[in-house]
A and B are shown apart, each in its own frame.
Chain A
């Protein structure tokens, strides 16, 4: 009776040990392991957020997998950086010519309070037609920003309004959703367009102007 209970305790202890080891493995090396955070954006396949595009369609990171993507953050009440970025991107897309059609180009607002679907639709309408505008609940925007390892911050202004500080880099992903590189704000077109071609891969770059 006594030896049997010792056996029972032993089995239970082994079970606990085994479970602990399993949990440890799961969290450190297994499927539960955190994605190594080196400050680089996650692959699109590892991101999770639900937004709405400027035509009212539900979109998320999955929407972008299958074609190379160019994604950037901004807000439509931004008088300087954002229209400049959108104008730069429109210029790069013009330089790509017909190849631009193979790219997902997405402008995600960091100011969903003012940038609703209609505001995004009107705004992106002034730039290259390939550019899509995404907005959604603040919490979902925050998830997206986190996935890209970007930042944003609401800052009050003298006029009683507010402006947004935000990451102004343009993020490039390949067709599998893997992060390729960023194009920094104000990077000259002669660097930007080759980076875009790299994200779109060598093969597609042939035969283009």
Chain B
């Protein structure tokens, strides 16, 4: 009986133990140089940029974004073809290899902030949460720069 209880406990604990060990992946994610451009009102989508570094020794998978600023934050990718035509589409999940940094930058990956809940005012910040496949999350405070900003230093 004692053995059974012990075994049941182990089985019940297993997912949590797995989650804990896997959590080490996204816990090692460091977000740097985050910035966004100010918006004009709330009707147009906004965009935010950052560098997502995986300082751990396991790959991590970025699955989504969350922020109170926008109803539909999504990772999007802009691609420009040989004819110079730019298009933008959801990027899906982003796998970041150990030691690698994925750059969200103008003309490439960006956090597309659709259905803004308030205008993005220059000088303010907003929290952006990155969610990972192992259940982990990282939240970064994103400074809002001018609408004509070109990078985090502007």
Chain A residues in the interface with B (C-beta under 8 A):
76-81, 83-84, 86-88, 90-91, 122-123, 126-127, 151, 155, 157-159, 161, 163, 165-169, 182, 184-186
Within B103-145, which residues are at the interface with A (CB < 8 Å)? 106-107, 110, 112-115
**Among A79, A86, A166, contact of B47 (Cβ-Cβ < 8 Å):** A79
B84 at the interface (CB under 8 A from A): yes
Please give me the residue from chain B that is nearest to A83 by CB atom.
B37
CB-nearest residue of chain B relative to A183?
B84
Per the CB 8 Å criterion, the residue count for chain B at the interface is: 31
Q: How far is the CB of A154 from chain B (nearest CB, A)?
A: 11
Report Cα–Cα, A89/B46, bound state, in Å: 20
Q: B24: shortest Cβ distance to chain A, in Å?
A: 32
What is the distance, in angstroms, from B12's C-beta to the closest C-beta of chain A?
A: 38
19 CB < 8 A contacts A-B = A77-B45, A78-B88, A80-B78, A81-B78, A81-B88, A81-B106, A83-B37, A83-B147, A84-B106, A84-B150, A87-B148, A88-B150, A127-B148, A151-B83, A151-B85, A159-B114, A165-B87, A166-B85, A169-B84
The answer to whether A80 and B148 touch across the interface, beta carbons within 8 angstroms, is: no
Residues of chain A within 8 A of B76, CB atoms compared? 80
Cβ A186 vs Cβ B107 within 8 A? yes
Enumerate chain B interface residues (CB-CB to A < 8 A): 37, 40, 43-47, 72, 74, 76, 78, 80, 83-88, 90, 106-107, 110, 112-115, 146-150
